[in-house]
Amino acid sequence: MSSILTNASALTALQSLNATNKNLSVTQGRISTGMRVAEASDNAAYWSIATTMRSDNKANSVIQDALGLGAAKVDTAYTAMNSSINVVDQIKQKVLLAKTSSDDDRAKIQTEIATLQAQLKDNIAGANYAGSNLLQTDSTSTTDTKLTVMTSYNRDSAGKVSIGTIDVDYSKTQLIDAGGAKAGMLDKEFTTTGGGAQTASILTLDVSATGLDGKDFDEMLGGIEAGLKSMSTGAAELGAAKSRIDMQKDFVSKLSDSIDRGVGQLVDADMNKESTRLQALQVQQQLGIQALSIANGNSQSILSLFRG
């Protein structure tokens, strides 16, 4: 049936053209943004997941910065600790040499020891990074007792967030007690009980004191050995922390890249596919316009029925 009131062919062609234009708009949007899920309306579930993961990755960026800062602090302390161990070794050698030396030679040796003791203090004072010195801390503090380095930002299946940390206990790395309690490995005092009895530490011992005998020197050496043993333990603590921080830095970097890839798989547009789709839709659009033009022309043909 031919009708001038209802052009069914034109309506069908128009609906098809509208659908094509809508799909073309979507494809052009994906090409311009590079994303197939740019807004929640595109795919609410994927958009929500991607938004959460992007937020977590921003937190991972903060974690990477914290790890970098923590690594620098621990590395600085580790370097100074190893240097201090070498200096204390030299002091031990000087004390051992002084045991069988004359009083005049002991005075000269003490001059060398005093230089080494000053070097120790300089090493430790210089082990400060960003306001933290793990080798010179206050044993009387009840709040500042450890270095805490953030290592991870974790979200469980229920959405609960937790923060992973690495802690370095100051009591295991303290060489000098900044609180004055003399609890550090170098300022911890020991007492010799020989003829030249004295109360001293590695930083204050004096091999030129009057009346020192073999027992005094043996006890000095014992005090030095105890300090060296504690320092070796402290160096191992710092070395382990340094190794773990370095591994965690590498892991967080790879994790961040993995999350970026995962988000991309959810929301990024396949540009090869979208390019092909764009060309197909453009052809469909042209055909739709042509079909609508033909359908609209059908009404004009009705006029020929009424021509004489």
Span 124-159, pLDDT tens digits = 999 999 999 999 999 999 999 999 999 999 988 888
Q: Is residue 265 part of a domain?
A: no
Q: Is residue 204 part of a domain?
A: yes
Cα distances (Å, whole numbers) of residue 218 to 28, 88, 255:
86, 16, 55
Q: Is residue 272 part of a domain?
A: no
Selection from 178, 198, 39 nearest residue 121 by Cα = 178
Given a cut of 70, the residues of the chain with pLDDT beneath it are 1-8, 298-308
Q: Is residue 148 part of a domain?
A: yes
Span 17-60, pLDDT tens digits = 888 888 888 788 788 888 888 888 888 999 999 999 999 999 99
Selection from 112, 110, 114 nearest residue 102 by Cα = 110
- The pair of structure tokens assigned to 180 is 């004055």
Q: What is the pTM of this model?
A: 0.80
Q: Is residue 252 part of a domain?
A: no
Q: Is residue 43 part of a domain?
A: no
Q: Is residue 93 part of a domain?
A: yes
CATH code where residue 228 lies:
1.20.1330.10
User: How many distinct structural domains can be found in the chain?
Assistant: 1
Q: Is residue 282 part of a domain?
A: no
Residue 10 contacts residue 297 (beta carbons within 8 Å): no
Domain interval for residue 110: 52-246
Q: What is the pLDDT of residue 199?
A: 96
Q: What is the pLDDT of residue 22?
A: 87
